[in-house]
Structure formats: structure tokens, C-alpha cells
Amino acid sequence: MDKKNSRRSFIKRASLTSAAISTTPFLLASSKNEQLLLKRTYVHQEFSVNDQLNIALIGTGIQGIYDTQSALQVDGVKLVAACDLYTGRLERAKELWGEDIFVTRDYREILNRTDIDAVIIATPDHWHQTIAVASLKAGKHVYCEKPMVQNFKEGQEIINAQKDSGKICQIGSQGMSSLGNEKAKQLYEDGAIGDIVMLDMYNDRYSAEGAWQYPIPTDANPNTVDFDTFLGNAPKVPFEPNRFFRWRNYQEYGTGVAGDLFVHAFSTLNYVISSHGPNRALATGGLRYWKDGRNVPDVSITLYDYPKTETHAPFNAAFRINFIAGSGGGGGFKLIGTEGEMEIGQNSVTVNRSKLDMVPGGYSMNSFTEEMQQKIKKEYAAKNLESRTSSLSTGTTTWQAPRDYKGGHYDHFNNFFTAIRNNGTVVQGPKFGLRAAGAALLANESFNKKQPVNWNPTEMKLM
């Protein structure tokens, strides 16, 4: 169904009483809000020891631990090994998951084990491509944290390695598989907001931890941290705990706010509107407050152009990050269309449809005589620009996940492991991962060059 007919269908259903069941029930009156419940049914499965999926964690840091905790909630999954370059994290892995798990500083020892089916890669960004490709070539299924790559040229190697290996590769932007994303995609395709004209995304933070000033363990030294291996292909520098434990603050190892935060938004946006991504970016920003040795901005504003495609009209996107938001912090992700707006979260979606004023009011009529004002009013009334249908199909509806919802992080791993067991597909494979990462990295490219940059979202190449 084309967008126009789909939108007409949505408005028609919105004009019916709530007794009429549809995929997108909608509040008609703007005088109150309607709350609806999202649903997802999980089927508990029992697996024998021989049917378990054995996984290993490579990178036992903050995100790696959260990833593994979510992964182990899925039925039939067992952690058998963990890898990290800091011995304290290997000790932490045993605290969390048992003394019998295998631990190592060398990820290659993980890949050489025949009892491991899949790996979670949660290392600093500059190691993603190397370890992902090596893991796929070793016959392991791969869950690789976002951003998939640190730079544009690395992406095709992962795509090719996944294709050649035949293994499953899921990119870890965990909100992708959430109930919120799923409902938002359905609503968008059903024409709930008309044609998209803008995306507004922002993330405000107001804490040292939120600005990546993570704690450094008191025993950090060249003996407990394999700093030389951590550096990899990055420039060689003397041992510096900040660079290891706060690597996101350095462009040599991370991807700044764009790779850490923009990429989540691009994953959701491209998924909801079935897009390959933007074709142009213009970034600005700077280091305003957290001058702790980092060399990436703590304030970033980037504007993106999305071209017209079969699934969406041309539109603009505004991405804003502020790590010193005196307002106290917060965030939002809102699609704005010609007929409404949709705010998307992992656990909820809110659609607000407003009445478009097409008839002039007192402000623009003030300079005319009373007689002329009456004539103009009659002319507009005859045009019938504000139909009763458009007036009725307004209001606000929120779809909310239930309290016992397992969450988008669980759903993303469930999607990954289900694909492994059934030889199926994942929601965020390497091509999707590169398009999301590539769009985010455009912000860094534009900021560093101090000029707009162009991108081919289909071929995933800088122009």
C-alpha cells in the first residue's frame, strides 16, 4: 500500500469509535490522553546441556558486563569464557559468573576454543573490526557492540567476513529490537504522522560519569593492564590509565559522542522509516567544560539531510549532545511529520496529531477593513480547507510496555540467539550496522574538516 492510501486508512480508523479494533487504535478527542499497552509474548524453552549455546565475552568492561547479563537471561545460553586486558576485570568476571569460567588477556585464545559458539565483542571501538573479522573467520557467531567500526573503510571487511563465513553477526545497538521501535515502525508505515519532515534528537548530561570520567582502579599499573596490546594500531604512547579506562574520550580509540550516541539514534531512525541513511552532514561543537585531556568535543550539534526514497520524503535531522547541560540532563527522539509527531523510546511510543490551521486568524486580518475581513472569511469558508475529518483525527496516544517487559537489550540478544539456532536473520546485520555507524561518523568527519561532507548511503561510501 502506498503512503497516501496508508495514511488515509489510518485517518479513517482514527475517525471510528474505539470499539472498532485496528492495529493502531487512536484517541480522537484532544481533551485527554489515551494510554495503550504494548505486548510481546515470550515462550520459555528448556535446553539440554548439549543444546546450549556457549558464549564468550571479549572486553569485560561496563558495556560488556551489561551485554552478558542480558544475554544470559535468554534460555539455553551459557558463558564459558571472558577476556580483558585488565586483570581486575577478569577477577570480576569470576565473581559474576563463577570460578570455572576460562579467563584470558588474549582474545585469540577464546577464538581457538572449540566449545565456544558465539562471542560478544565489547572492546574499545578501534578493536571492533579486527576482532569481529577474526571471530567470523574462526567460525564464531558475533555480537559486536556499536559502533560497528571506528572508520568508514573497516566496514566492508566485516560485511565480507560475515558473508564468507555464513555465521550470524548482530551489531549491538540494543534498542533496535525493542517494543518501542517495533511499534514506531508500524505506526510510521501506517501513516500516523504523514510525511516525515524532521527528526529531533538530543541527549543532555550533567555528571562526571555521564561525561565518561569513569573511575580508575587503584591497582592500575603496567603489570595489571596490558596497555601495549590495548593501543593496537593506535599511536604508541607511554602507559596512561586515563586512556585505558576512559578511552571514549580519545579519538585514537573511540568515536566520540557521534559513535557512542548518534549511532543508536540512526539505528532506530533507519529501522523505523526503512532508510539507508542521510547523504549529507554538517557538524559543529567543541570542548567546553571537560578539559581533562580528552580530544573529542563534549558539545556537538550536527545537521543531516535525508534524500527522498520510496519509503520517506526528503527531510532534515538535528542531532544534539551536551555533556555539560546545566538544565540537569535528559533526552529525546522525535519524528515530526506533516500530520503529527512521534516520540520514540525503547519502552514507549507517543503519537500526537494536531489540527493544522489553514484559515487566517485575527493577526493577519488586522490591516483590512471590517467589510474586507468578512469577504475573506467567506472565501475561506467556501474552500472548506479544514474538514471535520482532519479535526477529529487529533489527540495524543501513548503505547507503553508492561512492567514485566524484559526490555530491548534482552530482545536484541533473543533475536541474535534465535537466528543462530534457526539459521535465520538478525535485525541489525553488518550492512545495517555500517549504515548506522557511517552516518554517525559523518559528524566527526565534518567537525574535523570544518565543512559539510557527503555520503552515499546505499553504497556506504564517502563522496
| Angle subtended by helix axes 87-97 and 62-71, to nearest 10 | 20
Q: What is the pLDDT of residue 354?
A: 86
Task: Tell me the fold of 49-175.
Answer: Rossmann fold (3.40.50)
Q: What is the pLDDT of residue 263?
A: 96
Q: What is the pLDDT of residue 19?
A: 29
Sheet holding 330-337, edge to edge: 33-37, 395-400, 348-353, 341-344, 330-337, 196-204, 315-322, 299-306, 280-286, 453-456, 461-462
Q: What angle do CA 266, 77, 423 make, to 5 degrees?
A: 65
pLDDT in tens, 232-269: 999 999 999 999 999 999 999 999 999 999 999 999 99
Q: What is the pLDDT of residue 6?
A: 53
- With CA atoms as reference, report the closest residue to 440 among 268, 259, 201: 259
Written as nine digits, the cell of 144 is 559486536
Q: What is the pLDDT of residue 10?
A: 52
The segments of the chain whose pLDDT lies below 50 read 1, 8, 11-31
Domain pair 3-40+177-409+431-462 / 49-175, same fold: no
Q: What is the pLDDT of residue 392?
A: 53
Residue 63: left (phi > 0), alpha (psi -120 to 50), or beta?
A: alpha
Q: What is the CATH number of domain 3-40+177-409+431-462?
A: 3.30.360.10
Q: What is the pLDDT of residue 28?
A: 39
Q: What is the pLDDT of residue 391?
A: 55
Task: Give the Cβ contact number of residue 100 at 10 Å.
Answer: 7
Q: What is the pLDDT of residue 339?
A: 92
**Half-sphere exposure (Cβ direction) of 53: Cα atoms closer than 13 Å:** 24
Please compute Rg for the chain using Cα positions: 25
Taking the domains of the chain in order of start, what are their residue ranges?
Answer: 3-40+177-409+431-462, 49-175
